[in-house]
Structure 1
Amino acid sequence: MPRQRKRERRGSAGLVIAALLVIGLPLLGWAGVNALTGGDSGNDSAAAADGSRTDAAGEASRGETPGSFEVAQIGREAVSACVERMAAGQAYVESAGVGIGHWGEHVQARTDMLAGTVVQEEMRAIWKRTRLAGPDDVAQATAALEAYDALPGCDDLGSLEGALPEVADQAAACLEREAAMTTAVAASTAGLQDWANHLNAMAAHADGEMTAAAAQDLWVASWEAAPVNIGAYNDAHALLAAAPACE
């Protein structure tokens, strides 16, 4: 029996401790409950909010905007495409220049013969040399023009916004060069077309498709008009050489 009573006393003591805990909890408050349970304080949410504000402030102080990397990448790709097109345009202008140069020699030979600075034999030798080179001149330049036309233009650079400064500078230089290139390509095409037309006329005369009189009249008209497009090519080529590089 004594043992039984001891167990009862211990049981009563346990009930008393539990009762004290239940009664005391409202008095301890939130901080006390957390101290007893080992939980976190309610300041964590505020701290997290402060951290978010700090991070946001840091981002703003660095001047970073959403999508700035993507915009810059698009700008770099647009510049790269324009660089490729400008290189192809340069190749065409130079190739056309070979043919236009031969056409200029062909025209100048008659001018010099009429001025008495060369004899007819010299004139005819120049004519033969340039005429034989003519078909290859036209074929190579035509292939270069097709390669140039197959590439996209530089229009995307004009609407580029938000690019990094170095990309914006490249875009401005490329757009300026494109304007000069457009003029040079047009002048190249006009000058080369004059040469191709004369080559076709000579071939037609050789094949008996044109009388000697008609061929001579056409040749004289072409000779008189030739300096306009040859001069335009030379001027456009000089402007292109002075234009900013697109690279």
Structure 2
Amino acid sequence: MADHSINGKTALIAGGAKNLGGLLARDLAAHGARGVAIHYNSAATKAAADETVAAIKATGAAAHAFSGDLTSAANVEKLFADAKAALGSIDIAVNTVGKVLKKPFVEITEAEYDEMSAVNSKSAFFFLREAGRHVSDNGKVCTLVTSLLGAFTPFYAAYAGTKAPVEHFTRAAAKEFGARGISVTAIGPGPMDTPFFYPAEGADAVAYHKTASALSAFSRTGLTDIEDIVPYIRFLVSDGWWMTGQTILVNGGYTTK
């Protein structure tokens, strides 16, 4: 039987410099991963990536940081090739990349739609493609989406709408990669307490989101905390391998399907 533990495995985390991706990278190393490759988008996040690499190395694991704009398929190809060369293999691949836009449907410009589509859909598609080419047999792949996929709400057409295709990408990849023992999942957190959340929301909306989940009163912030999501991803890329092709909403009762 295949070994589904994290111990001794390698991982590639897209968007792994800080916030949820950075915490996940540290967590996998703390749970025995022998090496972690961190992707960051640009020079603006290099310092955070270097800090995460240092934290991983302090656990005794190998760590490497790679920069690139993943809206380019060629850059996704290079990321996987470089990570595999550095680590020797890629057993776990997690894509946390995403961009939020909250705006009335009739005000969304073509340029805004194109950017949202590139970041949320195109990059996810090619990340999954390269995962299918490079992840080891019996490996694990997970993509971050959003709990808004289970919501009936205005103003997020471009955000949730460009994350929605990832559900089908996940199903198709799971069917195609399953013959090699690879499980493929997507996880949709609720509104998360990260620097990406607050600029997109007004004060009234923030107050609403902090009380919208059934378990809000028991959350550190009222929102979905990144510490609440990491254990679910860790489970999906280890003992939870039998779940595949699924999109799981993890949000304390914010939305459901």
| TM-score, scaled to structure 2 | 0.21
Mark the structure with the bigger radius of gyration: 1
Q: Which has the higher contact order (CA 8 A, sep 6+)?
A: 1
The structure where helix makes up a greater share of residues is 1
The structure where strand makes up a greater share of residues is 2
